[in-house]
Chains A and B, each alone.
Chain A
Amino acid sequence: MANATEGAAGKAAEGSGGMPQLDFSTFDNQIFWLAVALVAIYLILSRVALPRIGGVLAERAGTITADIAAAEDLKLKAEEAEKAYNQAIIDARAEAAKIIAEARAEIQADLDEATARADAEISGKTAESEKRIAEIRASALDSVTVVAQDTAAALVAALGGAADDKTVTAAVSERMKG
């Protein structure tokens, strides 16, 4: 190193045998700039970067917590909805069964009433018919008697006898009883 400079750098390289770290003449320079750098980094970090990152991390943790809570909430709601749905189905089934039973009872009542009315009508009609039949039978019997007397009187007259009404009537009645 024949052309070594007279400067600190040159002296460091040749003087201490290649340990620029031990060249004390550069210490004040390095320490000054180190202080500047450290203060700059500290201010940048503590004023801007760290609060921002801390905020982002907190916000993210908050978001995640809130999302998990919301999910739990929704899950609970879904479970409740399912329960309500099942309850609604059970209620509806019960309601339907009740309506069916009511309808059945109503129909049964209507049916019973109609049957009773029909029975009553039928029995009324039957009674009337029987009365009519009896009347007809009675009138027919009377007619038969009259016809028999007339026929007997005519027969007697035809045979040349004179028949009074009383005898003929008695004879016919006699016969008709037998």
Chain B
Amino acid sequence: MTVATEAGSEGLVFHPMDQFIVKPLFGGDTVGMFTITNATLWMALTVLAITAMFVLGTRGRAIIPSRAQSVAELGYGFIHKMVEDVAGKDALKFFPYIMTLFLFIVFSNFLGLLPKSFTTTSHIAVTAVLAMLVFLTVTIVGFVKHGAGFLSLFWVSSAPLPLRPVLAVIEVISYFVRPVSHSIRLAGNMMAGHAVIKVFAAFAPLVLMSGIGILVTPLSIIAIVAMYGLEILVSFIQAYVFTILTCVYLRDALHPHH
């Protein structure tokens, strides 16, 4: 692979993936299950940021909200409405669960945009757990609520009878592909954007090494800024997409009949 190699003797270094390395914070080389790593730190910061906004920000319980409280209320209303509109009123008991997923993802994404930070949601291990949580919840809820009737989700009764077995196979496959796409979409987006920023960043110091840098350095800085703006958008959109897909899957579990 070329990404981790050094480009030329001037020392233009490309390590776009180094930012994703999970490493112990307090010395040592091995990452055990309970080692405090940079992933631990940034997850803790996510928890703290959520606490700051949703607990400290709302401690006034004001009828006329403060700025922090109104942002917290905005987030609450946004997800509450999404759950209600997409998954239905009876899905509102899953609202804290979906809110947890959304806030974890959106805060992780945005904290990951800080320079030198670690993006927990760029790791497939994290997003896969999130996606599997959704998948298992949806499946269990579906079978608990509807028993074997949940299987009618795969039996497209509006299709012509001969087509139904074929469609059933496709539906089953698509059902099991859901957690895969659900998790890789999020991790892939976060990883790709951060890696691209890092690649442009590696080009930025070229002006110190060669004449062509006069052209390349401003371009790469502009590119970093543009990518950063795009990443801000992507950070929110991917959290939104993850959450709304969760709601869609939940609706399937609560109302499996097409």
Contact = CB atoms under 8 A, between A and B. Distances in A.
A50 B37 contact: no
A115 interface: no
B172 interface: no
Interface string B76-101: 11000000000000000001110111
Interface in A136-174: none
A57 interface: yes
Contacts of B239: none
Q: Is the interface of B mostly helix, strand, loop or mixed?
A: helix
Contacts of A52: 55, 58, 61
A25 interface: yes
A84 interface: no
Nearest to A29: B31
Given A13-B17, A54-B76, A33 B96 contact: no
A32 B133 CA distance: 14
Contacts of A8: 22, 29-31
A36 B33 CA distance: 12
Given A29-B31, A29-B35, A9 B23 contact: yes
Interface stretch (A14-22, A89-97, A103-111, A116-124): A14-22
Contacts of B104: 37-38, 41
B16 A7 contact: no
B1 interface: yes
A32 B120 CA distance: 13
Interface stretch (B62-70, B146-154, B225-233): B62-70
A41 B47 contact: yes
Interface string B109-143: 00000000000101111100110010000000000
Contacts of B39: 26, 29-30, 33
Give the size range of B's interface with the partner.
35 or more
A21 B18 CA distance: 11
Contacts of B46: 37, 41
B54 interface: yes
Contacts of A20: 17-18, 20-22, 123
Nearest to B103: A41
A53 B54 contact: yes
A27 B128 CA distance: 10
A46 interface: yes
Nearest to A39: B100
Contacts of B65: 56
Given A19-B17, A21-B191, 10 more contacts: A9-B23, A10-B29, A18-B15, A18-B16, A20-B20, A34-B130, A38-B104, A41-B47, A56-B65, A57-B76
28 contacts: A1-B4, A5-B29, A8-B22, A9-B24, A12-B22, A17-B4, A18-B1, A18-B3, A19-B17, A21-B20, A21-B124, A29-B33, A29-B35, A30-B22, A32-B33, A33-B43, A34-B120, A34-B125, A34-B130, A38-B100, A38-B133, A41-B104, A46-B96, A50-B99, A53-B58, A56-B65, A59-B61, A59-B63
Per CB-CB distance, the 6 closest pairs between chain A and chain B, nearest first, are: A7-B29, A17-B1, A18-B17, A49-B54, A46-B96, A37-B43
